[in-house]
């Protein structure tokens, strides 16, 4: 049961990261298209800037759970390293609980913001006037996934499975 949860969370983070990667590629291609249209044809570009900004931003949020899973978010681990095994584990659990607190609070805050944009049909104040809830959707999704990933990490730390796996 526990391992099914862990595997599901990991899978979700990976799927989000895959989408993030594709969004980054899309942003890169659209930048090139935009430059090409303007430089070669002197043609106006309307929706491109919004698309590029929002897909790259979405990629950064959607990639965050995967980066947490692979321990890519930098931390100050001097104290952690200096401690003996048991207190180090306790400190790690405290850190993960604090991290979880942040991601849960932000999941709540982004859900409020997303909901407001959705019901009020907010748009961007640009020519393209993109429906705002679409680029905002990655926020609640990302923080919810981050929270799940943190719960998974806590499970691993409490059960001590993270040491067996090693720090990826």
Closest distance between another protein and the C-beta of residue 10, in Å? Answer: 14
Residue 2 or 105: the one with the smaller Cβ distance to another protein is 105
Closest distance between another protein and the C-beta of residue 76, in Å? Answer: 5
Closest distance between another protein and the C-beta of residue 60, in Å? Answer: 4
Residue 12 or 66: the one with the smaller Cβ distance to another protein is 66
Residue 9 or 61: the one with the smaller Cβ distance to another protein is 61
For 12-38, b/e burial (b = at least 16 CB within 10 A) is: bbeebbebbeebbebbeebeeebeeee
In the block, which residue shows the tokens 């979700």? 12
Element at 155 (helix H, strand E): helix 138-159
């Amino acid at each position: 049961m526990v391992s099914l949860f862990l595997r599901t969370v990991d899978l979700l983070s990976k799927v989000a990261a895959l989408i993030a990667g594709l969004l980054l590629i899309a942003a890169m291609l659209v930048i090139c298209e935009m430059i090409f249209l303007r430089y070669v044809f002197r043609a106006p570009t309307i929706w491109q800037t919004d698309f590029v900004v929002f897909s790259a931003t979405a990629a950064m949020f959607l990639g965050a759970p995967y980066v947490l899973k692979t321990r890519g978010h930098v931390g100050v681990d001097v104290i952690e390293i200096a401690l003996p095994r048991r207190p180090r584990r306790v400190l790690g659990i405290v850190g993960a609980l604090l991290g979880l607190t942040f991601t849960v609070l932000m999941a709540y805050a982004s859900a409020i913001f997303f909901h407001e944009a959705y019901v009020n049909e907010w748009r961007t104040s640009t020519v393209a006037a993109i429906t705002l809830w679409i680029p905002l959707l990655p926020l609640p999704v990302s923080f919810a996934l981050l929270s799940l990933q943190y719960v998974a990490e806590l499970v691993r730390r409490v059960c001590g499975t993270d040491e067996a796996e090693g720090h990826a």
